[in-house]
Structure 1
Amino acid sequence: MFDRKIVGILVLLVYAGLVSGCGSQKLVDGQNQMRASFQSGDFDRADQIADSLKENKVYEAKDRVLYALEKGTINYFKGDYEQSVKSFTNAEEYIDQFFTKSIKTGIGAFLSNDTQLNYNGEIYEDVYLNGFKSLGYLKMDEFESALVEARRIAQKLSEAEQKYGEYASAMAESDTTEKDIKWEAGTSSIHDSPLSHYLASALYAKAGEEDGARIEMDKLKKAINNHQAMPDSKLKFDSTFTKVQYPNQYNAMLMAFCGNAPEKVDNSINTDLNLDGKGIKIAIPKLKMRPSRVGDIEAVINDTMRIDLKIIEEMDKVARETFEIKKPIIIARATIRGILKSVAQKGVTDAIEDEYGSTAADIAGFLGGRAREATEQADLRGWQTMPGKVYTNVVKLPSGEHDVTFNYYSPVGKLLYSEARNIKIGEQERLEPIASIYSN
C-alpha cells in the first residue's frame, strides 16, 4: 500500500505552493489599495497603507526594496524631502545588496518561484529613484548631491547591459544542469536619459560652470534623438530646454509627472526542453503599458502667467525597453527551476514505483505535477507609485508667495485635472523645484 507519509509530503508541497500564492496575492492587493490612495492625491492614506503592509508582514524582508521605493515617492509628494531621500537611498542600497548576493549564491538561490527571492528591483526602478533623489536634494538646497544623483540616472542606463551580461555569465558558470540553457542578457535601444542631462545642465549653470551646462545640453539633444528611435516616442527637443543653461533667466523649475509605470502581468510560456516527453511550463512576467490620458500640461502662476510644460522623459517607455535586458535571464532562471523541479519529481516517482508499484507512482506523479504548477508563479512585484512621464519648464519669479496651478489636458484640450500649489520664493532663491503629479 502507498505510504501515507509520502502522500502527505506531496500534498504539503501543493499546499506550500498555494500558500505562497496567497502571500503574493495579499501583497498585490495591498499595493493596489496604496496605489489607489496615491492616485487620488491622498498621500497620507497611501503612507498609512504602506506602513500597515510592513507592520502586518505583507511586505516581508524580501520585499524591502518595494517598501522603500513606495515610501520614497509618497514622502516626496507629501513634501517630506528628507525622508524621501532617505527611503530612496535605502532602496538603492538594498538593490545593490540583493543583486550582489544573488550573484554569489548562483542558481542555488532559485527557490519555488521568483516571488520567494529577494526583490532587487527592475533596471528602470533603480534608474529613476535617482531622479527623485536629485529633486529631493534640490528641495533641500543640496546642489552637489542633486548633481550626483542626476548624473547617476544616465550612468546606470549606460551600464545596464554590461551589468546584466556579467550576471548572466556568473549564472552560466554555476549552472550544472547540463541543459542547453542560454544564459545571456538582452539588449535595449535606450542607454541615456534626457532628464538626467536636463537636471545636470541646470545644476552646472547655477554653480557657474558654463562649460558643464553646455556639455550636458549637448548630451540632452543626443539623448532625445536616441529616444526618438522608439516607434511610439512623443519626445522631441524643445527650445525652452536651452533656458536652463542661463541661470539668471530662472529661479523655479516646474516638474509635472503623469501616468504610471507599466504593469507586470503573468505571461506563462512553454520551453522547448523535453522532459518525459513534455515541455516545461514556466511563469514569467511581461510589462503591460498603461498609456496616459494626458496630452498637454500647463502651469498658471497667480492667474496671470501661463507656462507650457514640455515632455522631457517617457519613463514608461524606458521601462519597457530596459526590461528587455533582464528578460532572457528571467526566462533562463525559470527554465532552470522547472528542470530542477522535474528532475526531483521524477526521482520521487521512480523511487515510489520501485517501492510501491505503478499505481502509487501515478498518484505521486499527479500530486507532484500539481505541486509544480502551484509553486510556479510569475513575479509581479513592482514600484506601484512610479510615474510614467515627466514634463518640465523653468520660470523666473519675484520673491514672495505665488499660487501655482498645474492643469492637465487631454490631447483634444479637455481639462482632466488641476492641482493648486502655494509656494514661497526667497530673495536669494537659486533654484526651487515645484512638482505636481496626476497618476491617471
Structure 2
Amino acid sequence: MFNKQIARGIVLLVFAGLITGCGSQKLMNGQKQMRSSFQSGEYEKADHIADSLKENDIYEAKDRVLYALEKGTINYFKGDYEQSVESYTNAEEYIDQFFSKSVKTGIGAFISNDTQLNYNGEVYEDVYLNAFKSLGYLKMNNFESALVEARRIAQKLSEAEQKYGEYASAMAESDTTEKDITWEAGTSNIHDSPLSHYLAGALYAKAGEQDGARIEMDKLKKAINNHQAMPDSKLEFDSTFTRVQDPDQYNTMVMAFCGKAPDKVDNSINTDINRDGKGVKIAIPKLVMQPSNVAAIEAVINDTMSIELKIIEEMDKVARETFKIKKPIIVARATIRGVLKSAAQEGVSDAVEDEFGSVAGDVASFIGGKAREASEQADLRGWQTMPANIYTNVIKLPAGEHDVTFNYYSAERELLYSEARNINIGEQERLEPVASIYSN
C-alpha cells in the first residue's frame, strides 16, 4: 500500500511538470500566431485567433488579463472603440482582483508554478492600458473619461513602488519557511509619464481650463527630463508639444505607434539555498528589448501637406525600468517554491529509502528532482500587442473627410512602412484622434 502511494506521488509530480509545460507552450504558440496577424495589419484575423484561443481554453481563466489586453488593442486598431474600452476596463478590473487575491492568500498562492497563477499583469501593462482607454474615450468624444484615464497613467507609475512594497511585506508575514529570503520590492527611476501630461494638457485646453493645461505642460517637461536619465533614451522636449496649450490651433491629434514591447525570456538559475550541494532551480523571467528600426514618422494629409510626429513616450524603456519593481518579488517567491518542492522531494526519497533501501531512495530522489525541475518554469506570459513607442503631433483641419498617410522611416530615411487612414472632421470638432501602428 505504502509503495503505491509513493509511486503515485512521484508520477503526479512528473505529470504536473509535463502538463504545465504543454499548456504554457500552447498559449505561447497561439499568442505568436495572433501577434503575427496583428503585426501584418490583419486585425480581424488577430481578433478571431484571440477568440479561438479563449473558446478552446488555451486562454484559461487565469489568463483573463492577457485576453482582455489583446482584445483591447486589436479592437482599438480595428476601429471598435467602445469594445476596446470595455476590454481594457475588464483587464484593469481583473488585475486589481487578482492582485488583491494574491495578497490575501499569501505564499500559498504560488506553491505550484508561476505559470499556474492568475496573471495580474506587469506594472507597465497596468499603466499603459489606461493610455489606450484615454484614446478610446477621445474617439467617442467623452472628454471627461479621457482625462480621467490620462491622469491614471502617471498616478499608477507614481504609486507602483508603494503598491508592491506593501505586497512584499504581506508575503514576508505569511512566510514561515525560516529561510534567509528577503521580501522586498525593487525601485524604479520612472514615476511619471510624458504621455499622461500631454493628453491631459490637450484635454484641459479644449475644456477651456488654461491653468490646468499650463500646469500639465510644466509636468510634461519635468517628466521628459526624468525619462532622459534612462539608458539609450531618445526622448526630447519639442516645441510642438506646447501647441496643446492653444485650443484654437488644432482639432486633430495625430498619433503613431511603433515597435514591440520587450520580450520575456527564461532566465532560470540554480542556487544552493538549502546548503546541501544539490541546488534549487529558481525559474524567473527577464525582459529582452526589441529595438525598433523606426527613427522618424511623418503624416501626409490629402497628399498636400505633411507634419512630422515627435516621440512622446518610450513604452519599452519604461517597461524595462518598472520591471525592476516586481523582479525581487518574483525571485523570492520562486525561491520559496523551490525550497518547498525540494523538501517534498527529500521527504519522498527518504520514505522510499526507509522502505526499500538506499538504491531505491536514490532512484526516487533522481526522478523527484527531474519532476521538480520540469514543473518549475518562468512565467513568460505578457501583452503581445503592446507597442514600444508613441509619436504625436496636433493639427487643425477643415471640416470634411481627409486621407492621412503615415510614413515610417529608418535612420537612413528609408521608407519602412506606409499606412493610410481616413478621418471625418465635423464642423464643431474639438479633438479627433487618428492613429496608426507599425509593429516592426
Normalised by the length of structure 1, the TM-score is 0.99
Alignment of 1:154-233 (within 5 A): 154-233=154-233
Consecutive unaligned residues of structure 1, counting only runs of 5 or more, are none
Letter in 2 for 1:334: A
Shift of 1:283: 1.2
Q: Secondary structure at the match of 2:147?
A: helix
Shift of 1:354: 1.7
Whether the 8 Å CA contact 2:301–2:403 is kept in 1: the answer is yes
Distance between the aligned counterparts of 2:3 and 2:328, measured in 1? 41
Letter in 2 for 1:363: V
Distance between the aligned counterparts of 2:157 and 2:217, measured in 1? 18
Residue number in structure 1 paired with 2:330? 330
Distance between the aligned counterparts of 1:38 and 1:417, measured in 2? 15
Residue number in structure 2 paired with 1:87? 87
Distance between the aligned counterparts of 1:411 and 1:26, measured in 2? 37
Distance between the aligned counterparts of 2:14 and 2:126, measured in 1? 35
> Does 173-182 or 8-17 show the bigger shift?
8-17
- 2:433 equivalent to 1:433: yes
Whether the 8 Å CA contact 2:107–2:171 is kept in 1: the answer is yes
Residue number in structure 1 paired with 2:9? 9
RMSD: 1.1
Distance between the aligned counterparts of 1:271 and 1:349, measured in 2? 21
Distance between the aligned counterparts of 1:135 and 1:272, measured in 2? 49
- 2:140 equivalent to 1:152: no
Letter in 1 for 2:424: K
Whether the 8 Å CA contact 1:2–1:356 is kept in 2: the answer is no
Distance between the aligned counterparts of 1:275 and 1:9, measured in 2? 25
Whether the 8 Å CA contact 1:2–1:360 is kept in 2: the answer is no
Whether the 8 Å CA contact 2:252–2:433 is kept in 1: the answer is yes
Distance between the aligned counterparts of 1:265 and 1:406, measured in 2? 32
> Does 303-312 or 357-366 show the bigger shift?
357-366
Letter in 1 for 2:145: S
Residue number in structure 2 paired with 1:125? 125
Letter in 2 for 1:75: N
- 2:419 equivalent to 1:419: yes
Q: Deviations over 1:142-190 (max 9, x none)?
A: 0000000000000000000000000000000000000010100000110
Consecutive unaligned residues of structure 2, counting only runs of 5 or more, are none
Q: Deviations over 1:312-338 (max 9, x none)?
A: 000000000000000000000000000
Residue number in structure 1 paired with 2:69? 69
Whether the 8 Å CA contact 1:275–1:342 is kept in 2: the answer is no
Distance between the aligned counterparts of 1:99 and 1:422, measured in 2? 40
Distance between the aligned counterparts of 1:346 and 1:236, measured in 2? 57
Identical columns (%): 82
Residue number in structure 1 paired with 2:298? 298
Shift of 1:11: 2.4
- 2:348 equivalent to 1:351: no
Q: Secondary structure at the match of 1:324?
A: helix
Whether the 8 Å CA contact 2:274–2:339 is kept in 1: the answer is no
Shift of 1:2: 9.1
Distance between the aligned counterparts of 1:270 and 1:254, measured in 2? 49
Q: Secondary structure at the match of 1:383?
A: coil
Q: Secondary structure at the match of 1:186?
A: coil
> Does 105-114 or 135-144 show the bigger shift?
105-114
Q: Deviations over 1:322-361 (max 9, x none)?
A: 0000000000000000000011111111122222221221
Letter in 2 for 1:80: D
Distance between the aligned counterparts of 2:134 and 2:116, measured in 1? 32
Q: Deviations over 1:369-422 (max 9, x none)?
A: 011011000000000000000000000000001110000000110000000011
Distance between the aligned counterparts of 2:264 and 2:33, measured in 1? 16
Distance between the aligned counterparts of 1:415 and 1:163, measured in 2? 43
Whether the 8 Å CA contact 1:270–1:281 is kept in 2: the answer is yes
Letter in 2 for 1:135: L
Normalised by the length of structure 2, the TM-score is 0.99
Alignment of 1:17-416 (within 5 A): 17-416=17-416
Distance between the aligned counterparts of 2:408 and 2:260, measured in 1? 15
Whether the 8 Å CA contact 2:6–2:348 is kept in 1: the answer is no
Shift of 1:196: 0.2
Distance between the aligned counterparts of 2:103 and 2:4, measured in 1? 40
Shift of 1:272: 4.3
Distance between the aligned counterparts of 1:130 and 1:93, measured in 2? 12
Q: Secondary structure at the match of 2:237?
A: coil
Whether the 8 Å CA contact 2:72–2:87 is kept in 1: the answer is yes
Q: Secondary structure at the match of 1:416?
A: strand
Q: Secondary structure at the match of 1:3?
A: helix
Distance between the aligned counterparts of 1:373 and 1:281, measured in 2? 7
Letter in 1 for 2:383: W
Letter in 1 for 2:294: V
Q: Deviations over 1:243-276 (max 9, x none)?
A: 0010000000000000010000000112341343
Shift of 1:111: 2.9
Shift of 1:112: 2.1
Shift of 1:113: 1.2
